[in-house]
Every structure is written in structure tokens, then in C-alpha cells.
Amino acid sequence: MSFKNKVIYQIYPKSFQDSNGDGWGDIQGIISRLDYLKELGVDCLWLNPMTLSPQKDNGYDVANYREIDPRYGTMADFESLIKEANRRDMTIMLDMVFNHTSTEHEWFQRALKGEKKYQDYYFFRDGSPDKPITNWQSKFGGPAWQYVPSINKWYLHLYDVTQADLNWDNPEVRRECADIVRFWMNKGVKGFRFDVVNLISKANVEEDDPNLFDGRQFYTDGPHVHEYLKELNENSFGKDPSIITVGEMSSTSIENCVKYAGFDAHELSMVFSFHHLKVDYHNQKKWELQEVDFPLLKSILNSWQIGMQENDAWNALFLNNHDQPRSVSRFGDDQVYRKESATMLATIMHLMRGTPYIFQGEEIGMTNAYFHHIDDYVDVESRNYFSIMKEEGKKEEEIYAILQERSRDNARTPMQWTREENAGFTSGKPWLKVNANYNEINVEEERMDEHSILAYYKQLIQLRKKMPLIQDGIYEPLYENHPSLFAYKRKLKDEEIIVLANFYKENIHLDEAFDGYRMLLSNVDKEIYNQQLGPYEVAVLIKE
């Protein structure tokens, strides 16, 4: 399994590094930072979409799957990026958005002109202009059907109104998608991340949701999804065993993920699941706040570790990405104990069974943006929900408190490289405001401190590479009912490590002395385990 010892770094290209002063990150900017990524020790760079797009959803609305958006550079720039990454023993993973296309995509435009072939690429349905085909809701708010007067038809969009869902039941669509993957493989791409890929097989798009939730039971882990993924595997990336694939799974189950990412499943290498990132959603609703439900967080992480392990399937390990608030602000303390909480969270993820993903800036402890005016927010979802919450009668101050915790822009603020203006990201005006704390939190400062969060990440990455135990060992939960401790054991033959992590700022005393173990790693530079864990402290013990 070529992916078991790898560490993957996610680049949000728009916010990583701008090379030409237009305020928008680009491919040449990424190339200029490859030495930093090599020094960090990562193996593979996952890039969010850089193909042609009107950017209604930051590139997840693709207008042409085979063309680099000029805002990021040229195809020659992209080919140079692959070559330069390979020269440093790193590979490139691309984001494939195959559940939907932009309504500006040629296929959709031809459908609008009445071409039956391309109408069958999507879910177009005849119906009365004043009644959507079903009562399903879009994940970005509002109905999931949009009426087109010029052709007297509705089309399905589970996301933004400009993101029309593709009809995977049409074999032509499946052939097109396999062909797109092969196109990028021929360029030298060695990894693919498939966006919301478990939604590609819809059951009955003409059936109302009786519970008026949003219709997800009709399209999540749908009737033919495993068959379609096996076919995609066989016709594209499955031809090269060195290619790493990961599927983003929306509202999925362990049972399905075992099929997606089982070692003999012939579908994907691994999966992203999100249940653990909803433990602070009140009533399971993203835009309603509550404290992190720590017992639930532990229970979910443990059950996914065990469930995937027992079925020879593989997890992608992460707390951060371009759609999630910064984990140090969410699960830690980003003020007093930023370093301790950032390193504790990294440790529990990196030492689990699975492949760890680092989202840009996580390795220096970047925090939420805490913007307090709607004009500072760019994200379509945040702006939609700002209006929805206002209509519901919420006060602005309450809405901002929610956006500061939940907005996807928290993760998307430009990468903080230096103390220079705009954090060294651009010499122009950044597309999204830089986080105000870039003076204290930046790569330059972290590089100069041998006890920094960045230095700790490098240690963690090296540990995974040199210890087969971390790659292949069995996962066993410990202290499952402890109210503030997250702990587990990893075992391989006679080797054992124990991870003990304090999730809170109150000290913990543990009765167990763990005789016969010594300290392997500590985020507070403690040399001996003394049965005490301070605020957000993590201790990794190894059996003598």
C-alpha cells in the first residue's frame, strides 16, 4: 500500500502564494514554496481545483475540466509544478469535482440550447414553473431545483444554483469522467481527491422527502455508487498502483466506507468522513452553536478507527480543510494555549491508523479569522446564511458570533509567511483579508524557534516515516469514559506506543504509572512521564 506511510499537504491555491501581485495565489507561487514543503517532510500535495471556473464556489464549479484557469497560470506552469515537485520527491494530487459542473460548462450550455444528448448529462425534468420537481433542499440553502424558462424544464443542483448535478446513470457521463482522469494521469498527476463522490448515484430524483429534511436519503451512498466507482477505478487510476485516491464522503456510514476504501474493494485508497466535525453542531445543524461534545468526539473517532481496522479499510486523518474552521480555534485554545493545543491535536491525528492530511497553515497554528463585518466574508455559503439568519430574526451580533465559528473563510485566509504586509502572501490586494494576527503567527517566526509548532510537525512526520508501528499497528482505545482525556494504544508485534492527550486547560492526574514505558514525544518538552498532564498536554510513551 503506497499510501500507508505518506503525509499529504493540502494547498488552497487561491490563498497559498501569489507570484504576480494580483492578490490571487497561483501556480508559480506554489513552485516558489516547494522547498518549504520539502523541508516540512510531506510526500504529496493536494491542490484544490485550479481548472477554469466562474468561481461561484471557489473552483468547485468547474467550467472546463481540462483547462487551467488563467488566474492560476498556464498548463505549462502546471507541468512545471509537477516536474519541480517530482524533483523533490513529492507528487501532485488533484481535486476532481464530478458530482456537478458549473452551469457555464459547455455540456450545460449545450443542454440549454436544447441538445437532448447533453440534457441527459444532467437531471432536467419537465414541470410547472411554480412547483419544483421535489421538495429537496440545496446544501447551500434554498430549493435544490431551478427552473429554466427558455426550455420549460427544471434542473437539480444539490449545491449552488450554478452547480448542476451530473447524471451518472448515463454511461456517457461516466466515460467522460474516466477520460478526464486519464488526461491528468498523462500529465504526471499521481493522486486524485474526489469531491462529494458518494452523492453521484441518485435514487429517485422525483420523490419528495416526507420528513422535509433535505432529501439526502435519496442520494447519499446511492444505489449504484460502488459499481460506478469500481468502473472509474478500472478505466482510469486503477491502471497505476502508485496513484493515491481519496473520496470526500458526505453523511456516510462506516459500512459504506469499508466498501469505498477496503484494501480489496478496487474503489478508492481512503476516505474523508465528517461525523467527528459535527460534534459542536447543535441539533446537527451547522449554523447553530454548542460546545464541543467531547465524549461524542472520542466515540466517533474510536468507532471509525476500529470499524475500518476490522474490515481492512483505510481512513484519511484530518481536523482541518478548506471547508472547516481552524481546529486550534475550534477544539483548542487559540489564545493562551495555542502552541499546546495545536500540537496536541496534531499528535492525536498523526499517530492514528490512516493517512494524515495537513491543511496549509495548520502546521504554524493559524487560527480562525474572527471577521466582524459581512463585507469581509467572501464565501457563498456564509453570505447566503447571513441573509437567511437575518430573515429568521437573529441579531447581527449573534450572526457574526456564528460566522466567526463556522464560516469556511476561516480556513481560506491567505497563508501567513512573514511579518511583511499581507503576511508575504501578495504585494497586491488579497482576494480575501489576511488574518490580523499574521505579525505573531507566520512561517518566518516559526522557523526561527526550535520549539515551535512547525518544528513539532516535522518531528511527527518523521516519526510516521520511520516507525512501521504507526503505519501498520493495531489501534486500541484507552480511557474511553474519561471526561477530558483522549487516549489510545498502537501495537505491532512486540512494539507499543501509548498516546495520552489532555483536551482541556485543567490539569489531569492519572493513576496509571505505565511502568516499562518511556517518553517518546512530548509537546511541552517533558522528558519523563509523571502521571500528570497539564493544559492541552500530550505525552507519547513507547514500550521499553
Residues tagged active-site: 195, 248
The residue among 376, 333, 353 whose CA lies nearest residue 475 is 353
CA angle 305, 264, 258 (to 5 degrees): 35
Residues 382 and 412: their CA atoms lie apart, in Å, by 13
Please check whether residue 242 is in contact with residue 190, taking contact to mean a CB–CB distance below 8 angstroms.
yes
Distances (CA, A) of 119 to 125, 238, 266: 9, 30, 31
> How far is 280 from 258, CA to CA, in rounded Å?
26
- Name the residue type at position 383: R
End-to-end CA distance of the chain: 29
> Is-contact 143 133, C-beta < 8 A?
no
Pairing of strands 64-68, 8-11: unpaired
- What is the DSSP secondary structure assignment for residue 371, as one 8-state letter? -
Q: Which residue has the cell 483548542?
A: 332
> Which cell numbers in the block locate residue 534?
497539564
Nearest CA among 52, 171, 172, 140 for reference residue 101:
52
SS (H, E, C) 124-178: EEECCCCCCCCCCECCCCCECEEEECCCCEEEECCCCCCEEEECCCCHHHHHHHH
The full length of the chain comes to: 544
State the DSSP code for 313.
B
104 burial (CB, 10 Å; 0-12 / 13-18 / 19+) is middle
CA of 249: how far to CAs of 66, 201, 246, 532, in Å? 24, 13, 9, 38
The DSSP bridge partners found for residue 313 are 262
Alpha-carbon Rg of the chain, whole angstroms?
23
Query: Which residue type, as a one-letter code, is found at position 457?
Result: Y
**At residue 329, what is the residue type?**
S
Q: Are 405 and 289 in contact (CB under 8 A)?
A: yes
What residues contact residue 115 under an 8 Å CB cut-off, 6+ apart?
none
Helix (H) and strand (E) counts in the chain: 18, 22
**In 10 A of CB 347, how many CB atoms?**
25
